[in-house]
Amino acid sequence: MRSRYFCSMRIDIITALPKLLESPFSDSILQRAIKKGLVEVNLHNLRDYGLGKHKQIDDYQFGGGAGMVMMIEPIHRCIDSLKQQRNYDEVIYMTPDGERFGQKMANGLSLCKNIIILCGHYKGVDQRVRDMFITKEISIGDYVLSGGELAAAVVSDAIIRLIPGVLNNETSALTDSYQDNLLAPPVYTRPADYQGHTVPNVLLEGNFSLIETWREEKAWEHTKKRRPDLLP
């Protein structure tokens, strides 16, 4: 049977450490999304575009200072070869000084058709890469990771689960924490009584309108307690 979902997305990730990114895409929801053809994720080893016999991709920084800088030419070659094959909506660079990633940005990116994500390493990339090729710079938080790979996996996961058809029940992405600026309400499963710790009665009684009201109240209370900054 043909899939009833016609939209698919393509993510091209450019990295010096492709192995780091293999496992997040080979399990669970992301793997299922790839198998269903809803998303295509391609890992490109920057080394394949490196210079000379040693496939060099980094060099000392001009002006001195500790740490290597990723060179422009291998990145340019890789981005060019991708752009020759299709148009891209965004060329993203993962960096701790980028725009802070959140649910709204994930929602927006999930509507893209093709995106490139470049993972930084060492001291980062030559500034001219950012000036010439990058359309969006993203940080996943105010801390520094050893490279952009884990951040790229986080961003890809948050985007892919929003693509229609990826989650079994499409509404479940809409009820995630942060979609409505509310944190998600608590959830329970069997047993209804675990060592005297019981599930709220309203969830057991089958009145769906009461359950909905209870969930809204709990989401509100939880947000007020943990993240009052999200509330109007």
- How near is the Cβ of 169 to ligand ADE at its closest, in Å? 30
- How near is the Cβ of 137 to ligand ADE at its closest, in Å? 9
The three-state secondary structure class of 44 is strand
| Among 81, 97, 11, CA closest to 46 | 81
| Among 118, 121, 122, CA closest to 65 | 122
Among 96, 203, 220, 230, binds ligand ADE (CB under 6 A): 96
Task: Spell out the residues 6+ positions from residue 146 whose beta carbon is closer than 8 angstroms to its own.
Answer: 121
- How near is the Cβ of 69 to ligand ADE at its closest, in Å? 14
Cα 105 from Cα 221, distance rounded (Å): 25
CB-CB contact of 164 with 2 (8 Å):
no
Q: Does 118 bind ligand ADE (CB under 6 A)?
A: no
Q: Which is nearer to ligand ADE, 114 or 139 (CB)?
A: 139
Number of chain residues interacting with ligand ADE (CB under 6 A): 12
CB-CB contact of 148 with 124 (8 Å):
no
CB-CB contact of 12 with 139 (8 Å):
no
Footprint on residues 75-94 left by ligand ADE (CB under 6 A): 94
Q: Does 145 bind ligand ADE (CB under 6 A)?
A: yes
User: What is the number of other CB atoms lying within 10 angstroms of the CB of residue 217?
Assistant: 11
Q: Does 120 bind ligand ADE (CB under 6 A)?
A: yes
CB-CB contact of 26 with 157 (8 Å):
no
Q: Does 15 bind ligand ADE (CB under 6 A)?
A: no
Among 18, 50, 74, 148, binds ligand ADE (CB under 6 A): 148
Among 67, 102, 141, 164, binds ligand ADE (CB under 6 A): 141
Among 15, 110, 114, 139, binds ligand ADE (CB under 6 A): 139
Cα 16 from Cα 48, distance rounded (Å): 9
Q: Which is nearer to ligand ADE, 70 or 151 (CB)?
A: 151
- How near is the Cβ of 31 to ligand ADE at its closest, in Å? 23
Q: Interface with ligand ADE by CB under 6 A: which residues?
A: 94-96, 120, 139-141, 143-145, 148, 151
